A and B are shown apart, each in its own frame.
Chain A
């Protein structure tokens, strides 16, 4: 019990404290320490060695195990990566408590909000009470908005504003869903948890439950990035600093997904609503996959490409859950694999961005030659995210397809395959252009010729930027920091391992989660 609360309170408190910490070094170290502490405690909690929870407010079930571990793991990776990231973006002014200067120090805010973000996500995942869960998910929006606005320029401001407005509206609608859900039962709020409502499944009022599910799907679906409510996602993901994008895509979307899973858990307990909810989820999922397929084609910005890929994968998750049966276990596995792959992809995108200083696909080429490690990993990540065989995504996507074929939903299966193919082709053209091709130095001259501002541009930059940009242009192999590469390597290997071998711990959690959602074991 105490561990669960500690998981939420610890990062919240340290997050607030780091606003007031003067030393940049101390702040960064605190971030990493908290990350590892959080990871350790969540593993403890998920192993069941931390004692049982009463489950009225917070609880641990198999779904929690999956998503909490995943979130904590990704956060640790992002925190380590942030160390380097913050080194590259120093903030000159120290914290000055008297003049409220610390509120202008973007690095202090970054570190603080990262930890608050972690606290909010932990709350969203651990809470069983629907009202508390809503508070957690709304808090994730609030904590992550300053992170998106890290760069303090117009583009990030625009992205942050869109993110804030669209997600807040979505989550407000989800709150309406929570109110409707409370109406389904005459029992008092003591049992306002998925397990509690399932207990009274026979007595629930179906009309209200259906209305509540629609509001949950639209509300949390906005946050999860289901089309057509996904419009904030590409902007926010492409403008946020890379470690934040990794968290947004790998962890935050999962939190919102869990919000939908919680009410789905109640819906499947009753046959009438189960069919209704499944149908809506499949439609939402396929629409999202279709949307991302359209926008990923000829996407000029590689971070946006990754963002649309996230929309696609959220669509796959929704479709998988909607199909039921063994597809649910597949979808849960897919959620794990997606997070483990998408987060390193965003970190790698950060490496590319800091080296080439552009987000345009057309200005990046020859990655394999200029940044061998990043280039290799980028290619591997592409193969992984599109579900190519050795990776875990293949297993999960195949499980979902199998379920679609088994239930004879031919249209779903057909569209599912078609959209997967479109996304594969779309990403293939982009990634190939970036990794292969000539080195940047081969056309450095014409680059200068076409863009006379480039020279001034470089001069304006700070020292490190100048160094990176210069090395990119001169064609030498760009330095790649060990920490920059380590996190992606670890995550991608985990995703690779999941393709061959499912550890007993993961298998149990996935099967347990699938049973909660009315599915079959893997």
Chain B
């Protein structure tokens, strides 16, 4: 379990430093695969149930095959290949990532002081994935990378949940998975729309809405 958590953390560092979208998508798919194996590793040999295996397979199919395929399609269609000039340079965001890794360790250490944590390394990885997801969301310009950041964050939440051993019934787990899937799917569809409307995927150039002034472009009808 610890080695899977380590790989998850490493993939995050890679994501923070990578500028190629294709590699990032593949890395997130890899994370999805790791995340699918994690519950099996956590359960151990004796406790493998059919439901668990089914959930794992469903999760792998969604997170490491279907969603990456969708994002890949969005990337190819929009002609975007790489993230250019994020708000923080790649080296700096990796450094920040290291800092966040230390912060995650510190948080889990604090938590451990009050309540025992069953699998601290995995929980650290979970927190770290959440933080890196947020970092990706904040510092990257492309809407596609933001979607990836959200996926990483979501993976982190699941990792943390697994490390805590909080299991719900299969129906609830499936519901959660379905929600996440539909969410990303909607984001994927919106990526197509953004590309069509704006001719780019730069979320930082979304500046039509702000409190300072209403940017009413002349060709834009105020629809109602």
Interface residues of A (CB under 8 A from B): 129, 131-132, 134-135, 138-139, 141-142, 145-146, 149, 151, 153-162, 164-165, 168-169, 172-173, 175-176, 178-180, 182-183, 189, 192, 205-208, 211, 234-235, 238-239, 241-242, 295, 299-301, 304, 350, 353-354, 357-360, 453, 457, 460-461
Contacts and interface: CB of A to CB of B under 8 A. Distances in A.
Interface in B142-197: 143, 146, 150, 153-154, 157, 160-161, 164-169, 172, 175-176, 179-180, 182-183, 186-187, 190, 193-194, 197
Given A157-B194, A164-B190, A176-B130, 18 more contacts: A131-B168, A151-B224, A153-B197, A153-B220, A155-B220, A157-B190, A165-B137, A165-B187, A169-B150, A176-B157, A178-B166, A182-B168, A211-B111, A301-B214, A353-B224, A354-B224, A359-B222, A360-B216
B157 A175 contact: yes
B143 to A, nearest CB: 7
B45 interface: no
Interface of B: 111, 114-115, 126, 130, 133-134, 137, 143, 146, 150, 153-154, 157, 160-161, 164-169, 172, 175-176, 179-180, 182-183, 186-187, 190, 193-194, 197-198, 203, 206, 208-209, 211, 213-214, 216, 218, 220-224
A135 B176 contact: yes
Nearest to A189: B168
Contacts of B130: 173, 176
Given A131-B176, A132-B175, A205-B115, A160 B190 contact: yes
A224 to B, nearest CB: 18
Contacts of B164: 179-180, 182-183
Contacts of A453: 218
A172 B209 contact: no
A301 B208 CA distance: 13
A138 B176 CA distance: 9
Interface of B is mostly: helix
Contacts of A189: 167-169, 172
A131 B177 CA distance: 12
Contact of B214 (A160, A211, A300): A300
A432 B183 CA distance: 42
Contacts of A239: 209
B123 to A, nearest CB: 10
Contacts of B218: 453
A176 B193 CA distance: 31
B187 A457 contact: no
Contacts of A357: 222, 224
16 contacts: A132-B172, A142-B182, A149-B193, A157-B198, A162-B209, A165-B150, A165-B187, A168-B187, A189-B169, A207-B115, A238-B209, A295-B211, A299-B211, A300-B213, A301-B214, A359-B214
B195 to A, nearest CB: 11
B223 A169 contact: no
Contacts of A359: 214, 222
Contacts, number: 144
Contacts of B172: 129, 131-132, 135, 189
A476 to B, nearest CB: 20
B221 A135 contact: no
Contacts of A164: 183, 186-187, 190
A103 B182 CA distance: 16
Contact of A157 (B134, B137, B169, B193): B193
Question: Which one of A179, A205, A453 has the greatest number of beta carbons of chain B within 10 Å?
Answer: A179
A60 to B, nearest CB: 20
8 pairs of A and B residues whose beta carbons are closest in the complex: A207-B114, A182-B166, A179-B161, A151-B223, A131-B172, A207-B115, A353-B224, A135-B175
Contacts of A155: 208-209, 220
Given A172-B154, A176-B130, A161 B194 contact: yes
B208 A158 contact: yes
Given A154-B197, A453-B218, A135 B179 contact: yes
Contact of B111 (A157, A165, A178, A207): A207
Contacts of B211: 234, 295, 299, 304
Contacts of B180: 138
Contacts of A145: 186, 190
A304 B178 CA distance: 33
Contact of A162 (B150, B165, B206): B206
A116 to B, nearest CB: 11
B166 A179 contact: yes
B91 to A, nearest CB: 25
Contact of A461 (B161, B182, B221): B221
B221 A153 contact: yes
A157 B199 CA distance: 13
Contacts of A129: 172
Contacts of A135: 172, 175-176, 179
Contacts of B194: 157, 161
A211 B114 CA distance: 11
Contacts of A208: 115
A172 B157 contact: yes
